[in-house]
Structure 1
Amino acid sequence: MKTISLNERDVREAVSMREAIDAVRGGFIGLAGGEFEMPTRTALRDGQFLVMSAHHRPTRSAMIKTLSVNFDRAPAIAGSVVWSTLDRLDQLIADAGAVTTLRTGAAVGVATDLLAAPDADRLTLIGAGGQAADQVRAVHTVRPLRHLTIVSTNTRRARSLADTLHAELGGTEIRIATDPSSAVSDAHVVCCATPATSPLFPESALPARVHVNAIGAFRPTMRELPDELLAGSTVIIDELDAVLEESGEIIHALQSGVITEDGLTELGTVLTSAPADHGNRTVFKSVGVAMQDWAIARLLADKFLR
């Protein structure tokens, strides 16, 4: 029996964003096909402590993640991901912060590849925290970017993020902004990665055709998107039970009567359906589900537990 422990650097060096996107895409398809046993996550202290688990029936493997979330520290996410299988005694333990940001970015990559215009190359990213870089990497992987606008009230953090991404994005033009409303006006793709408790911009600020990813709000008290955007868009979610329990945007819009549960479609369902025209405005709302962590953990297990 052996236990492999991986830190953030180990995870980053082992799994590329392309690999992560492919693995998470397969996971969403498996989720739609009933392959997973996946309880709604346990949230303590209003989401500052989280426990998530997933069992993949075909491989007899399971993942359990425990973490703490504190936006007043850096990094905000700390904890561990444990992967094991019934077929062997070995287990893998990986840094939860690296796995979480990577799998969240990967889900956005899957959704953007499916929903954004084929020629989309202008991304507006709102938020410059720990999730931000992988949001950009994921979108760039499926829609090579010519323009990136980073929106943050913390301009020093935004410039640091821009410096980090500059070498990775090649010739992409990067600019810094502080006003979300003006920054989204010419975007092809918008990524929201903030701990906001009220909408970041009005629906009217967006162009007629745009794809929006919202991953920052993961509790009922948090919101990044306005009701009007959800009402006028095709809304794709990661998993119905999860967003009904945890997504402030979805809960608020349902209570306001501007959308119904019938108007919410899980990403896995769209991936396994015939191609469709989803209209000019699409939204991917994700609170994050354990299957995504399992998908990254399985990649790591395949590489390190041989």
Structure 2
Amino acid sequence: MKIYSAEDVRRLVPMPAAIDAVRQAFLDLAAGHFVLPARQIFGDGAVLVMSAYHSPTGTAVVKKIGIALDQLPAIRATVIWTGAGEQIVADGTSITTLRTGAVVGVATDLLAPAESTRLAMLGTGAQAADQVRAVLAVRAISDVAITGRNLQRARTLVSALAEEFPAVKFAPGTSIDEAIGDADVICCATSSPTPLFELDALPARVHVNAIGAFRPTMRELPRSLLADASLVVVDRLEAALEESGEIIDAVNSGTLTPPDLVELGTALTTKPTPTARTVFKSVGIGPQDWAITAVLAAGPK
């Protein structure tokens, strides 16, 4: 058995490698190469168990997540990966933030304007840094506005990321409308029960990623944005219809129908040409965890 700490995960799986691995995992998912049981949810979302089996390689991953939004870190997880005669146990908290950032990198690379230079990061929690890292890995971003309810936390995150990316201008703030008014890409990573902004606060052409609302009672995006968007992409339709508050609300209200939603693997295969506003909504699925752990299993390049 090999055991990987959070530091090991970060050292062995840089963000560009994570994005490449997650992109291929979604292509494999679209090709039918994963067996993907429904996520098990306990205690109103306090404990999650998710798994995935990759049939071409005969490898599987299982992840247990504990979520306590009133604590730091809010997510604590462990990942177990099994292959032919090999087993890996890895820090699942780092894998979760890394793979969630990576899938946003995949979606942003596919859907955001190629000339994007301005990113608005809404949320300052554990997921935020990898959201920024992922977007910077796929677009030549020069300006990042980081917005949260707590200005000091926004400043702390700005300070850490500015040291990591000295060529990028970072600015902290608490006004969402100011942050998103001229953004090319927006990342939402909050536990908000209500939409973070209104449609008229957005530029006419913008790509929005939303990864924070993972329960039916949560909503980061307004219904009007989902109605207005030229393309709404989800990681997996079944998961979005069961867990995403925004998608559930939009479908129940008649704003969207399930056929209006495009799975990321399908979008990667068909290569859409986005126009106007686009949305990517992710609740997270097992193949993302499998992808990151498979990179660990492959060892250093």
TM-score by length of 2: 0.98
From 42, 49, 52, the equivalent of 2:50 is 52
Task: Give the match for residue 151 of structure 2.
Answer: 155
Task: Give the match for residue 78 of structure 2.
Answer: 80
Q: C-alpha deviations, 1:20-64, integer Å up to 9, x for none?
A: 000000000000000000111111111110000000000000000
Task: Give the match for residue 115 of structure 1.
Answer: 111
Name stretches of at least 5 consecutive residues in structure 2 with no aligned partner. Answer: none
From 36, 39, 45, the equivalent of 1:38 is 36
Task: Give the match for residue 26 of structure 2.
Answer: 28
User: Aligned partners of 1:168, 1:176: CA distance in 2, in Å?
Assistant: 16
Task: Give the match for residue 255 of structure 2.
Answer: 258
Q: C-alpha deviations, 1:215-234, integer Å up to 9, x for none?
A: 00011011100000000111
Residue 300 (structure 1) shift: 0.7
User: Aligned partners of 1:27, 1:247: CA distance in 2, in Å?
Assistant: 21
Residue 170 (structure 1) shift: 2.1
Q: Which amino acid aligns with 1:259?
A: L
Task: Give the match for residue 65 of structure 2.
Answer: 67
Task: Give the match for residue 268 of structure 2.
Answer: 271
Task: Give the match for residue 10 of structure 2.
Answer: 12
Task: Give the match for residue 236 of structure 1.
Answer: 233
3-state SS of paired residue (1:209): coil
Residue 279 (structure 1) shift: 1.4
Residue 157 (structure 1) shift: 1.0
Q: Does structure 1 residue 293 correspond to structure 2 residue 275? A: no
Which moved further from structure 2: 42-51 or 105-114? 42-51
Q: C-alpha deviations, 1:93-134, integer Å up to 9, x for none?
A: 011100000000000000000000001010000000000000
Name stretches of at least 5 consecutive residues in structure 1 with no aligned partner. Answer: none
3-state SS of paired residue (1:166): helix
3-state SS of paired residue (2:116): coil
3-state SS of paired residue (2:299): helix
Q: Which amino acid aligns with 1:280?
A: A
Task: Give the match for residue 222 of structure 2.
Answer: 226
Task: Give the match for residue 249 of structure 1.
Answer: 246
User: Aligned partners of 2:52, 2:43: CA distance in 1, in Å?
Assistant: 22
3-state SS of paired residue (2:273): coil
From 186, 190, 198, the equivalent of 1:194 is 190
User: Aligned partners of 1:225, 1:266: CA distance in 2, in Å?
Assistant: 18
From 90, 97, 100, the equivalent of 1:104 is 100
- Within 5 Å, which residues of 2 pair with 1:208-223? 208-223=204-219
Q: Which amino acid aligns with 1:30?
A: D
User: Aligned partners of 2:99, 2:244: CA distance in 1, in Å?
Assistant: 18
User: Aligned partners of 1:276, 1:191: CA distance in 2, in Å?
Assistant: 21
3-state SS of paired residue (2:164): coil
Q: Which amino acid aligns with 1:256?
A: S
Q: Does structure 1 residue 204 correspond to structure 2 residue 174? A: no
From 123, 131, 134, the equivalent of 2:127 is 131
Residue 76 (structure 1) shift: 1.1
Which moved further from structure 2: 252-261 or 95-104? 252-261
User: Aligned partners of 1:63, 1:140: CA distance in 2, in Å?
Assistant: 28
TM-score by length of 1: 0.96
Residue 182 (structure 1) shift: 2.3
User: Aligned partners of 1:227, 1:180: CA distance in 2, in Å?
Assistant: 17
Q: Which amino acid aligns with 1:12?
A: R
User: Aligned partners of 1:283, 1:170: CA distance in 2, in Å?
Assistant: 29
3-state SS of paired residue (1:167): helix
Size of the aligned set, in residue pairs, is 300
Residue 145 (structure 1) shift: 1.3
Q: Does structure 1 residue 170 correspond to structure 2 residue 166? A: yes
User: Aligned partners of 1:121, 1:182: CA distance in 2, in Å?
Assistant: 16
Q: Which amino acid aligns with 1:257?
A: G
